[in-house]
Structure formats: C-alpha cells, structure tokens
Amino acid sequence: MSGEIFIDIQRAEKSRIDEVDLQNLSFGKEFTDHMFVADYVDGKWQNFRIEPLRAIPTHPGNLAWHYGQSIFEGMKATKNPQGEVLLFRPDMHIKRFNTSARRMCMPEFPEEVFLKALKVLVELEKHWIPNDKDAALYIRPLMIAWDPHLGVKPSQSYKFFIMTLPVGPYYNKPLNILVQTQYIRAVEGGVGFAKTAGNYAASLYPTQLAQQQGFDQVLWMEPKDFRFVQEVGTMNIFFVFKDRILTPRLTGAILPGITRDSIIHILRDWGHDVREEKVDILDLVRAYERGDFVECFGSGTAAVIANVQKLRYRDIDMFFPPDQWQLSLKLKDYLTQLKRGEVDDKYHWTVKTTGALNQLVHANDA
Ligand SMILES: *Cc1c(COP(=O)(O)O)cnc(C)c1O
C-alpha cells in the first residue's frame, strides 16, 4: 500500500515560528503550523491531508464530548547531530493507539498510513524541533468520535488528527508523590491500559487534592486495600533497590509505557536484575527502613525520567536525596542520547523521516 498513500498538503501562508521562543519552551502551549487530518466515513479512513492547524467547527451533539470515545498517543521527534529527524519507536506507539481504539470500540487507523503521516508531518515541521537536549518535538495523535447523534453507542464517523508541539522539560524539578489511599485510577478489566480521555479526567480531582497538600502527583494503587502499586500520574514507576529494580507488572489497569519497556530492555542489557511483579507498598517501606530502597523514578515520553525525592504513604515519608540518584541519571542520559542519535542505536528503536516529504511530493505529482 505504501506507494499509493496519497496525502494532500495545504501549506500555511505564513509560519508562526517567529512568535515562539524555542529556547524557552514550556510543555503543551505552543503548536506548530500544520496538522494531519483524516476522516472515517462509510466504514473507511479517507481524505488524508495536512493543512494549517486551525479550530474546526463541531456539533454540540458530538458523541466524543458526551460519552468519551476519544483516544490519543504521545511521542517525540528529535534531531541527530547531522540534523536528521528521528522518531522514537513509532511502531509501538501506532500499535498501542490501535489497542486503545479496539477497547473503545473505535476503528483502527491503518499502520502504514499512520507511519507515513508521522514522517511527512514531522519532516514538514522539522524547523520547529528545538536543539536543547531537554527539548523535543512532541507528537500528539488523536482520534475522536464525530457523529452528532446522542445515544450511548459507537459513533459511525470519526476524525483522526496528528498535532506537533515544540516542548521543553515536562517537570523541571524532582517530584513529591503521595500514595493515593482513597481514590483509584483503574481496575483490571477496565480501561487503564488505554490512552483514553476519561482516564485523565478521572485523575484530575484526586491529583488536585494532593497538590493542595504540597505534592506534585499521586501514586495510584490497586483498589480495596491500596497496597499494590500501579503507576504515577502519566508515568510508569520504578523502584531501585541495592540488588534489583522493581516495576509493577502490566495487569491491564496500567498503561504499558514505551519508555517503561525501553528502560527494562536497557537495564537488563546492563546486567541489572529487573523484576516486573506485584509491588507491595509495605515491602517498599520495609526496604526503605533497611536502607535497601535507594532510588525511585517515573518514566514516560513527556518527562523521560522524573526523579522522585519524596514518597508519602499514609504517615510514612520516604526521602530520596539527589546525591543518591545514580541509575536514574545514567538512564536518562543514555535514553536522551539514544533519541538524539548520539550513541549507537543498537536496539533499532529510532526511525528517520529523511526524504519522506520529497517522496510524497513525487507520488502526489504522479
Ligand atoms: C502515556 C502514559 C504513560 C507513559 O507511556 P510512554 O509510552 O512511556 O510515554 C504512563 N502512564 C500513563 C497513564 C500514560 O498516559
């Protein structure tokens, strides 16, 4: 199919890049000039196009707004020292997007078109990619229901978008985290593994309560006795012991992070004993008291690796001072270098966008 994918490009008359300070970026505010759009009508995806980013009129009866058929992805593009653009593990992001789609009763988006769209859009927007090593071009694919007819049923029509945003660091300080012992994020059999809108809406209130107590994020736990760890905010979590590293196993209630997967591969490659298992918070407390539990960090595309400096479980505070951070900093450096093509890509995780736009222009002309 790849030779036949037609993507129509309508370029913005004028770039807004001069209005943005690429040296001083926050996360999520600035969008680039263009977006990719596709329509699902009559049972198939069509009208693949790139057009200037703009607001689109939406009927107030839109099913996504009422009942939440809405999924997304989050990935990053960076430049290597030669100035070529690299996507990080786009295949895994595409597969996860379609896993989310199936769970939410939404149509899958064809993998080949998805990859092509990512490459062409990012290549078109590559002048927006900041150079700073903590910065990147964040890529946000989104699919939402589009039917304007009320009724709790799957929509017949959908829209698919890819937006891109130049971003700086997600967190610019280490995190204080509160173990949540009242609210839950997800249960086995639910939709915790899907990047779907409702998961994030449901997390806002408990997170706000934690923030009012001076915490940055909450650590979500399994329901009922709140003893087994799930994940934190929009990140997976790792606990570094002196002789091993623990991370909660994937139960269906946890988002299967691609950063998580990458870290597990890298750490095992470095000879560490990494265990994906049920992590009991009481075991963590005991290990902390013994002096065995020395580092704690979150992992995700947006933050890469976020160090935890304080973890509170009920009335127990666990502290992880910066002078104890070793593995997390080493990992963060390595992952950053890998994404920027500064070290050998031995896992074949990066994908170049080089030439994608030229190939497309030829295909469109033909
Ligand atoms: C996206 C996300 C993550 C991290 O996944 P990555 O693929 O590493 O970016 C973790 N938890 C939640 C809830 C998420 O939405």
| DSSP per-residue string spanning 38-52 | EEEETTEEEEEEEEE
Tokens 């829209």 belong to residue: 159
Ligand 1: atom nearest CA of 96 is 7
Predicted pLDDT at 172: 81
- Top pLDDT among 366 and 237 is at 237
Does ligand 1 lie within 6 Å of residue 328's CB atom?
no
CB neighbours (10 Å) of residue 116?
A: 22
Residue 21 Cα to ligand 1 midpoint, Å, equals 27
**What is the maximal distance between C-alpha atoms in the chain?**
69
> What number is the average pLDDT over the span 280-306?
97
- Is 350 in contact with 91 (CB distance < 8 Å)? no
Residue 231 Cα to ligand 1 midpoint, Å, equals 9
Ligand 1: atom nearest CA of 185 is 13
Ligand 1: atom nearest CA of 258 is 7
Q: Hey, which of 89, 236, 299, 338 would you mutate to test ligand 1's pocket, going by the most ligand atoms within 8 Å of its Cβ?
A: 236
Q: Which of 240, 232, 85 is nearest to 171 (CA)?
A: 232
Predicted pLDDT at 366: 54
> What number is the average pLDDT over the span 54-65?
96
Query: Rounded to whole angstroms, how far apart are CA atoms 110 and 21?
Result: 35
Domains of the chain by residue range? 8-168+347-365, 175-324
Does ligand 1 lie within 6 Å of residue 301's CB atom?
yes
In 3-state terms, what secondary structure has residue 268? helix
pLDDT over 90 for what percent of the chain? 92
CATH number of 8-168+347-365, picked from 3.30.470.10, 3.40.50.300, 3.40.50.720, 2.130.10.30? 3.30.470.10
Size (the chain), residues: 366
Residue 318 Cα to ligand 1 midpoint, Å, equals 24
Predicted pLDDT at 3: 55
Residue 230 Cα to ligand 1 midpoint, Å, equals 12
Q: Hey, which of 301, 335, 338, 339 would you mutate to test ligand 1's pocket, going by the most ligand atoms within 8 Å of its Cβ?
A: 301
pLDDT over 70 for what percent of the chain? 98
Residue 112 Cα to ligand 1 midpoint, Å, equals 23
Query: Rounded to whole angstroms, how far apart are CA atoms 311 and 298?
Result: 12
| pLDDT at residue 159 tops 70 | yes
- Contacts for 344-349: CB closer than 8 Å, 24+ residues apart: 347/262, 347/265, 349/88, 349/89, 349/262
Ligand 1: atom nearest CA of 73 is 1
Does ligand 1 lie within 6 Å of residue 74's CB atom?
yes
Nearest CA to ligand 1 atom 14: 234
Residue 138 Cα to ligand 1 midpoint, Å, equals 13
Report the run of H or E that residue 245 belongs to, with start and end.
strand 245-248
| pLDDT at residue 1 tops 60 | no
Does ligand 1 lie within 6 Å of residue 217's CB atom?
no
Report the run of H or E that residue 209 belongs to, with start and end.
helix 197-212
Confidence bin at 67 (pLDDT 50/70/90): very high
Q: Kindly report the average pLDDT of the chain as a whole number.
A: 95
Does ligand 1 lie within 6 Å of residue 195's CB atom?
yes
Q: Which of 106, 121, 25, 109 is nearest to 75 (CA)?
A: 121
Query: Rounded to whole angstroms, how far apart are CA atoms 146 and 38?
Result: 12
Query: Rounded to whole angstroms, how far apart are CA atoms 91 and 242?
Result: 34
DSSP character for 110? P
Residue 333 phi, psi dihedral angles, 5° rounding: -60, -45
pTM: 0.96
Residue 89 Cα to ligand 1 midpoint, Å, equals 14
Does ligand 1 lie within 6 Å of residue 100's CB atom?
no
- Is 151 in contact with 119 (CB distance < 8 Å)? no
Residue 299, both tokens: 């992992």
Nearest CA to ligand 1 atom 1: 234
> What number is the average pLDDT over the span 125-152?
95
> What number is the average pLDDT over the span 115-144?
96
Ligand 1: atom nearest CA of 261 is 8
Report the CATH fold assignment for 175-324: D-amino Acid Aminotransferase; Chain A, domain 2 (3.20.10)
Confidence bin at 363 (pLDDT 50/70/90): low
Query: Rounded to whole angstroms, how far apart are CA atoms 106 and 32?
Result: 27
Query: Rounded to whole angstroms, how far apart are CA atoms 75 and 142?
Result: 12
Does ligand 1 lie within 6 Å of residue 30's CB atom?
no
> What number is the average pLDDT over the span 20-27?
90
- Is 341 in contact with 333 (CB distance < 8 Å)? no
Residue 142 phi, psi dihedral angles, 5° rounding: -145, 140
In 3-state terms, what secondary structure has residue 114? helix
For the stretch 190-217, pLDDT in tens is 999 999 999 999 999 999 999 999 999 9
